[in-house]
Amino acid sequence: MPSSSPNGSLALIAGVDEVGRGPLAGPVVAAAVILDPAAPVGGLRDSKALSPARRETLAAQIRQYALVWAVGRADVAEIDELNIFHATMLAMRRAVLGLTVPPQQVLVDGNRCPSLPYPARAIVKGDATVAAISAASILAKVVRDAEMCALDARYPAYGFARHKGYPTREHLLALDRLGPLPEHRRSFGPVRDRLGTVDRKL
């Protein structure tokens, strides 16, 4: 992917995936990637099946060799206002609309597609079966992890570099001890339950 269309021209197929629906903090990040069949990237698979070092290597290759790629996000305020599902759809839409070359078709990981001006199809477990979706999964994961590591540098007591905002025991204990940050999702139960119970210590 991309493949050839019936008239022999290049079919520009964008793969789309997101990272960050489950965490208690930080944005949801989506990526859209159109791969170049003349410059394939080997070893693409679901980002969760790769080590951090391998993801970084592949992300650099995707940025270098893909025909085009783009990243979209929905921030914490949008997640709290819209809910995580609609915020995820918004991040995916932003990623696709950020492509400087319009795709002829969009393949989205999962069972729902965002509203797009292009033909789109959802593929369950597409991040493990469709190379362009795998590439998007890797790119989105690397971008979001980098943002969470930057957040860790600002608030080291919360452990963001280790748990990336997911509701691990370490994260929940930090919330109990320190309270939520502005980067926490107020609409998520574990954060909402702790609001106003502990003064935030920066």
- Is residue 32 domain-resident? yes
- pTM score, whole prediction: 0.90
- Is residue 62 domain-resident? yes
Question: Range of 177's domain?
Answer: 3-192
- Is residue 182 domain-resident? yes
- Is residue 199 domain-resident? no
- Is residue 201 domain-resident? no
> What is the full per-residue pLDDT of the chain (202 aa) written as tens digits?
344 443 344 579 999 999 999 999 999 999 999 999 999 999 998 888 899 999 999 999 999 999 999 999 999 999 999 999 999 999 999 999 999 999 999 999 999 999 999 999 999 999 999 999 999 999 999 999 999 999 999 999 999 999 999 999 999 999 999 999 999 999 999 999 988 654 444 4
- Is residue 65 domain-resident? yes
Number of structural domains the chain divides into? 1
- Is residue 78 domain-resident? yes
Q: Which residues pair with 28 in a beta bridge?
A: 74
Check which CATH number belongs to the domain holding 60 and give it: 3.30.420.10
Query: What DSSP line would sit under 15-70, residue for residue?
Result: EEEEE-SS-SBS-EEEEEEE--TTS--TT---GGGS-HHHHHHHHHHHHHHSSEEE
